[in-house]
A and B are shown apart, each in its own frame.
Chain A
Amino acid sequence: MFRRLPEATGAPIPFTFDGREMVGRRGDTVAAALLAAGISVCRTMAVSGAPRGPYCMMGVCFDCLVTIDGAANRQGCLVLLVEGMRIKTQAGAPQAQAEEGAT
């Protein structure tokens, strides 16, 4: 869906999406890195289960919600990609879970 221009030569940033290894570039948001990697669906809706992908890229639409390193409901378009991030499709409504260390 998107390709990167030759001048975009930022340092490569490896990450995983649903366990698959991918590489973004320094300066990418999570949503941009996913689009560059050919990913167009990053969540399914809580109501109907329909697939969604990034729509506005500026924090307005919340269609790029993903789970990042175990934290659900992160706006992929506002989070800068960091090396080693484990990003997952957010399937439906996220389940409440205790944070590490909580009793």
Chain B
Amino acid sequence: MKTIAAIEAFADRYDLAIVGAGPAGLAAASLAVAHGVDVVVLDENASPGGQIYRAVTSTPMTRREILGEDYWRGVELVQEFSGSASSYAPSTTVWNVARGLDGDSLGRDFEIGVSLRGKARLLRAKEVILATGAQERPFPIPGWTLPGVMTAGAAQIALKSSGLVPDGHLVLAGTGPLLYLVAAQLIEAGASIRALLDTTPRANWMSALTATPGFLASPYLAKGLALLRMVHRRLDVVGGITALRAEGQKRLNRVAFERAGRRTELDCDLLLLHQGIVPSINLSNAIGCAHDWDDVQLAFRPQVDAWFASTVQGVAIAGDSAGIAGGESAAARGRIAALGAAFRLERIGAGQRDRDAAPLRAELALLARGRRFLDVFHRPAKAFRVPSDDATLVCRCEEVSAKTIRETVMLGACGPNQMKAFTRCGMGPCQGRLCGLTVTEMITDARAVSPAEVGYYRLRPPVKPVTLAEIAALPQTADAEKAVAR
């Protein structure tokens, strides 16, 4: 692995650019390089691993049992990648991926806008694999913007990368396997948790069991049950939560919840929210890849073929960014995407591609068993996806309330893009990452149409903020100069 520490150290051109150094990106890079593909991995974080294997080779955590064996499995992926001939650019932001047009000097290459240590550059690549992973689903409740309210994933990142554990009165709330995993990890690390407020709708039990008898044969079952038992034994789990509210003036000091029609309050310094993860689609959306609404996972995911190739030729999407399937599946998906790219780059033939992919597909099929149970069981309640309280902020960046969103639908904003133009909702720095799904579902609810019909924000580059100074300092091509010359 060749680490790129300065913007000047990039080559002008690569065969394959991979965005993201989580399991999908790392596995894809290691395999592609082995087939003679010239690869660069571009990653926002300072060390490889993505979120699931965050800081796995640099963490200060020495007691293995705190983070659990599933976490340490990431070491192997990182070591394989470190031993490969791939180029690796940590702390690097990708703010644009654009396809060249016929006739211009790019040819059919992609042009990739990156920033590293305050300097920008445009790289070229023949193929791109997006391995941008997932993010936690928005959890719009009253007071969720107060300092002292964070996501469960955020606390896990602080634990993995800096050995930090919450202190003081701590409450966890929501649903999903990660919520229970984080609870277990924090307990092992010595945190004292006042309560875990479980918002999983009671009815999910029945729908999950009837919809998915296959779960009994799933590898997730034993693991999940052990986790549930541990958490239930060691802390106060309050189920059947129907409403949540974070309260405080300048910062959080109380969480209020409703259960069976009764309201209860708990003093609280830190509230960790979580209700599942959803694909990170900002880059694939901005590139113009087609996306579908997933009615079980309640999120948009890109359309991909058997090689995880998107609808834009030359762009593949692997890992959870192609639909949530978990970290182990992400690595297998990354390898399949890499075989597809190596084939298109003419490094391997169709026979070898198909042969090598067969065991990976078998692995994916095994890992997929029981996944549907998790999706159906942890489907978050509508009350926590479509806020009914008027004052709840939907767009955190531009501070647009649920009331404004609803009123704007009544005024005739029929989709998220009109909503954005009317209200600035989704126009702040996070670019809809924490309001997009809520806005789609609120419009869906008000208009009684399908989320697929309502659609999502049409995102445009830069997908991450880049300064004007960085853009201005970019080297100009002859074409670009000609385009503005009088």
Contact = CB atoms under 8 A, between A and B. Distances in A.
Indicate whether A and B interact: yes
Interface of A: 1-5, 7-10, 25, 27-29, 32-33, 35-36, 40-41, 45, 47-48, 50-63, 65, 71, 73, 77-78, 80, 99
B51 interface: yes
Contacts of B155: 57
The A contact surface, by secondary structure, is loop
Nearest to A39: B147
A23 B154 CA distance: 21
Nearest to B54: A58
B391 to A, nearest CB: 12
The B contact surface, by secondary structure, is loop
A22 B91 CA distance: 24
A71 B115 CA distance: 15
Given A7-B63, A8-B60, A62-B397, A78 B164 contact: no
Contacts of B163: 4-5, 7-8, 25
Contacts of A2: 158, 164-167
Contact of A29 (B161, B396, B428): B161
Contacts of A27: 55, 58, 60, 161-162
B187 interface: no
Interface stretch (B104-112, B361-369, B429-437): B429-437
Nearest to B149: A55
A32 B164 contact: yes
Q: Which 3 A-B pairs have the closest CB atoms?
A: A8-B163, A53-B147, A57-B154
Contacts of B270: 1
Nearest to B398: A47
Contacts of B153: 56-58
B349 interface: no
Contacts of A80: 46, 91
Nearest to A53: B147
A17 to B, nearest CB: 14
A1 B169 CA distance: 9
29 contacts: A1-B148, A1-B269, A2-B158, A2-B164, A3-B167, A4-B162, A4-B164, A5-B61, A27-B161, A28-B162, A33-B162, A41-B147, A41-B251, A50-B145, A51-B251, A52-B147, A53-B150, A54-B150, A55-B145, A55-B149, A55-B154, A56-B135, A56-B151, A57-B155, A59-B464, A60-B136, A61-B430, A62-B428, A78-B93
Contacts of B51: 58
B109 to A, nearest CB: 27
A10 B58 CA distance: 10
A7 B189 CA distance: 11
B196 to A, nearest CB: 18
Contacts of A1: 148, 166-168, 269-270
